[in-house]
């Protein structure tokens, strides 16, 4: 059965020390200025955070499928200090590195992975479009082969790590034709940063995740070599669905980091804050809420790390894809909704101070909502779970 080992906990301490030493002292300022701290990415690379699942030949840890739980621990610990830095790692690995590592040719891996794994560069994942979110099959971006090159036209929306000073490449889905059944043929294509016709739009003004690098992308006759096709032609949609299954567990880990921080903040504040001459923690209306946050944190952590363990078991051929898919949906749905609830409760416990930006619960409250949306909405997770139970779609 799954259980975090002492090695996992030792690794947790390393990441926590980094997060508390390098992120925590500056996070309020960065959040206010919507500043992406690109200088931290190579430092995270030196800690090995981007290479936990990567082979040694590209600079990774070479754990051969056993690095996913370590990745979840790292995302949780970064997310405990700042959710935006947690998503930077999650997207950098799950959406940037993993598609190239899993589906790329040897040449593509050799070209892109060493810098991405080392934290010298970041990669983005271009799936969502202005009119194609949960309905990713409605992709309108098109790529046509002309004289040995893909000519890409279209737009992508809400793409993480796509416009940072060190972004090197974005992998995008595009319609490359039609299937024999008349459905869109969706393929994945690697587009290097700086490609003529590829424009990174100005950063969004977001409710939360102010530190995260997020942009829209447009393609107007952007040309890349035919060899930039990632995986098999027409398999791009399937590839990205598989990528999202893994990413949902990582998003759940990010939510666990949020929950853990809310537990720590409310436990401390409820004992320090005095009302009528007594700590507010003596009031059951407060202590019961803290107890609920503790319970949600524990359940979310168990669901998340069970799903991570199952994923590693699947890699070893001991569990089915369907079982992991269901566990990922459980973890993502419960953990993210619990995080939204816990941040609301924490803000209420803090009272007027919870509405003030100098208290971290305000930032976590803003950041939590996107967890229910990104990498598969709560509604999509319920669809996945219902189908896994055999209910008609």
Cα torsion angle, 297, 300, 305, 308, sign: negative
Q: What is d(CA 208, CA 79) in angstroms, rounded to the nearest whole number?
A: 13
**N- to C-terminal Cα distance for the chain?**
32
Catalytic residue status for 375 = yes
Scan for tokens 């040719």, then name that residue: 105
Exactly one of 181, 265, 375, 379 is catalytic; name it. Answer: 375
Sign of CA dihedral 182, 184, 188, 193: positive
Residue whose pair of structure tokens reads 């980094």 in the numeric block: 18
Enzyme catalytic residues: 375
């Amino acid at each position: 059965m799954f259980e975090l080992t002492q090695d996992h906990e030792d690794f947790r301490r390393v990441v926590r020390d980094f997060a508390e030493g390098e992120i925590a002292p500056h996070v309020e300022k960065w959040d206010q200025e919507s500043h992406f701290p690109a200088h931290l990415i190579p430092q995270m690379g030196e800690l090995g955070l981007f290479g936990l699942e990567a082979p040694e030949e590209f600079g990774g840890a070479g754990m051969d499928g056993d690095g996913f739980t370590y990745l979840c621990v790292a995302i949780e610990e970064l997310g405990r200090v700042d959710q935006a830095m947690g998503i930077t790692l999650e997207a950098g690995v799950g959406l940037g590195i993993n598609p190239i590592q899993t589906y790329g040719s040897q040449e593509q891996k050799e070209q892109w992975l060493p810098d991405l794994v080392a934290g010298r560069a970041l990669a983005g994942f271009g799936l969502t479009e202005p009119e194609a979110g949960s309905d990713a099959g409605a992709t309108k971006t098109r790529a046509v082969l002309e004289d040995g090159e893909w000519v890409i036209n279209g737009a992508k929306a809400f793409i993480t790590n796509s416009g940072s000073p060190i972004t090197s490449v974005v992998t995008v889905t595009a319609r490359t034709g039609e299937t024999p059944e008349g459905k869109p043929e969706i393929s994945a294509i690697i587009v290097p940063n700086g490609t003529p016709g590829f424009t990174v739009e100005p950063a969004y003004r977001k409710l939360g995740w102010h530190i995260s690098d997020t942009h829209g992308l447009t393609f107007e006759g952007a040309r890349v070599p035919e060899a930039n096709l990632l995986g098999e032609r027409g398999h791009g949609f399937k590839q990205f669905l598989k990528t999202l299954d893994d990413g949902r567990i990582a998003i759940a880990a990010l939510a666990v980091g949020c929950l853990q921080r809310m537990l720590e903040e409310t436990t401390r504040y409820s004992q320090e804050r005095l009302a009528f001459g007594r700590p507010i923690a003596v009031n059951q209306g407060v202590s019961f809420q803290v107890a609920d946050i503790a319970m949600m944190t524990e359940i979310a952590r168990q669901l998340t790390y069970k799903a991570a363990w199952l994923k590693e078991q699947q890699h070893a051929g001991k569990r089915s894809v369907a079982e992991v898919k269901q566990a990922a949906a459980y973890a993502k749905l419960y953990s993210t909704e619990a995080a939204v609830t816990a941040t609301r409760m924490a803000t209420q416990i803090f009272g007027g101070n919870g509405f003030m930006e100098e208290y971290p619960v305000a930032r976590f409250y803003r950041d939590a909502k996107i967890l229910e949306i990104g990498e598969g909405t709560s509604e999509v997770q319920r669809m996945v779970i219902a189908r896994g139970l055999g209910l008609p779609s």
